[in-house]
Structure 1
Amino acid sequence: MRELQVVNAAELAVAYAAADYAVALDGDALPLRVGRPAGDLEAYWPATHYMFVTAWNPASEPHSDSANRAADERLVARLDAAGVQRHAAWAEDTAGEWREPGWLLADLDESLAHALARDFGQAGVLAWRRGEPVRLRMLIARPANAERSEYTDWLGD
């Protein structure tokens, strides 16, 4: 597992929490937002728990499209090997200047999912249980200057 160095984890968590997320299901793009339930998605694709993960831009440092696609292919191979159910998903900032593809996973063991995200250099994932609001899980230690947020968990402590 790689040790993740993030320049400003507090700002990163705020940006992740404010971002727009969506998953592609049956030709529809179903939105996901931190702090809100995902009832439409859960009705389309019933599962016990969900997680959004990406392999793009480890440590939130921009990488080339070819490097990001190669990382995504490695992630997909690991998901396939584990038999994980998934649908294409993405995250983007509210200004529409940044977009990052990823995958919405269903019913993957949480510790395995967190380890997988860390293996691909990710600082955070979205995760929630059916019927509960979407949560941001930061996989790094909470910095002293990070404001508390009801829907953000810091798992690196």
Structure 2
Amino acid sequence: MRELQVVNAAELALAYAAAEYAVALDGDALPLRVGRPARDLEAYWPAARYLFVSAWNPASHPHSDSANQAADERLVARLNTAGVQRHAAWAQDEAGQWREPGWLLADLDDSVANTLARDFGQAGVLAWRRGEPVRLRMLIARPADAQPAAHTEWVAD
């Protein structure tokens, strides 16, 4: 597991919560937004739990495309070995200036999901249960200056 060094975790959480997310299912792009239910996705792909995770840009520090693709290949190999169901997904900022590929996973328990994300250097993931709003789970300690947010949780070791 990596020790993440995030410059401003409070700002990072706000950016993650404001980002636009989507998952590709049979040629459709179904949107995901923190704080909103994902009814279309859940109807299309029923599961008890969902997790959006990426292997790109650990700790939100830019890496080369080749390094990011290699990390993604390691993540996919691990998911294949574990037999985890998944669909291609992505995150992007509201302005469309930044886009990061990832995976929407089904039915991982929280501890497995957190370990997976941390093993790939991720500071946060989207995680929610069927029928509930999409939540942002920050996998680092909550800084003192982080404002409360209804759909953001902080889960440090």
TM class, shorter-chain normalised?
Answer: over 0.9
Aligned to 1:23: 23
Q: C-alpha distance in 2, partners of 1:78/1:148?
A: 34
**TM-score normalised over the length of structure 2:** 0.99
**RMSD in angstroms over aligned alpha carbons?**
0.6
Aligned to 1:70: 70
Aligned to 1:95: 95
Q: Does 1:117 align with 2:117?
A: yes
Q: Does 1:154 align with 2:151?
A: no
Q: Shift in Å at residue 155 of structure 1?
A: 0.3
Q: C-alpha distance in 1, partners of 2:23/2:35?
A: 16
Identity, in percent, stands at 83
Q: How many residues align?
A: 157
Aligned to 2:47: 47
Q: C-alpha distance in 2, partners of 1:66/1:131?
A: 37
Deviations 1:54-112 (A, max 9, x none): 00000100000000000000000000000000000000000000000000000012111
Aligned to 2:61: 61
Q: C-alpha distance in 2, partners of 1:36/1:54?
A: 20
User: For 1:66, what is the secondary structure of its paired residue?
Assistant: helix
- Where do 5+ consecutive residues of structure 1 fail to align? none
User: For 1:11, what is the secondary structure of its paired residue?
Assistant: helix
Q: C-alpha distance in 1, partners of 2:125/2:95?
A: 20
- Where do 5+ consecutive residues of structure 2 fail to align? none
* Runs of 4+ that moved beyond 6 A: none
